[in-house]
Structure 1
């Protein structure tokens, strides 16, 4: 959000002191994470209408833009359209994942990939320490040319989806 945004003044509009105070809170939230203002709280804000206040339509448009910024800055699990993922469903999804063989190309060692995914499932079921999205993003597998190997592109795409799903838990 731009702090230098100048809002037009109308004969009857939103109370300027109230709007300015809110914009300061939004700025602090976006820049420093202070005053933890959420998009839902912003939607519920109402201003007094006074003489020589800010033009209502301009403030409403600015608030809509600000709501989008707050949603984008929110932790992934709290973003709209991203429902929380149940651990049981996620464990089943991981166990049902199938990857194509690398064939004659270099691929990821099947044992390494399978062991890592088993560790993720055990963590989801509480049988082992939980695996974090960061662990998924940073995992590395041995490459094989001869022997069973998974297609690297498929495994990499699956791991991106897995990390995102773990963030929504």
Structure 2
């Protein structure tokens, strides 16, 4: 099986065949094949071998897979976090305010505002929904001179937003 994202190989790392086998099972489960639970994935341990996949990259990919499996699981099997009501989430996003970047580089105000407008439109059903993964992967232009938001504040807000979208 080919791994979706290309994983780097290090001098010592996780056994490539074991990692590929797990990723294949996860991909199958997400595409309607035999089910695999997030708990089963968390319980897997890989052997450390010469010329194996870099451990940190695999660990991050497996964490993302766990999140996807949790999102795809029937509601009764999802983690016991409270669900977030879309109306509350829309108000929270619209009421958010970020500090200016000042003399430091910051995220372009137009990019951030446009992205958050897209999230709100998706929550209202007026546009395709934005997923937690979309939020984690969004990228904004950096500005040095001009209106920019404090990057750390925006990053913290987006991390909270991704968590809230997972609980919808």
- Scaled by the length of structure 1, the TM-score of the pair is 0.56
The alpha-carbon distance between structure 1 residues 83 and 107, as it changes in their structure 2 partners (threshold 3 A), is: same
1:99 is aligned to: 98
2: CA distance, partners of 1:147 / 1:153: 17
2: CA distance, partners of 1:146 / 1:38: 45
Divergent runs of 4+, >6 A: 35-39
Within a 5 Å distance, the mapping from 1:47-58 to structure 2 comes to: none
| Deviation (angstroms), 1:35 | 7.0
1: CA distance, partners of 2:37 / 2:138: 35
2: CA distance, partners of 1:112 / 1:164: 21
Root-mean-square deviation (CA, aligned residues, Å) is: 2.6
Instruction: Decide whether the 8 Å contact of 2:38 with 2:70 is kept in 1.
Output: no
2:87 is aligned to: 88
Which runs of 5 or more structure 2 residues have no equivalent in the other structure? 1-24, 40-65
2:79 is aligned to: 79
2:129 is aligned to: 130
| Deviation (angstroms), 1:142 | 0.3
| Deviation (angstroms), 1:75 | 1.7
2: CA distance, partners of 1:138 / 1:37: 24
Q: If you compute each CA radius of gyration, which structure gives the higher value, 1 or 2? A: 1
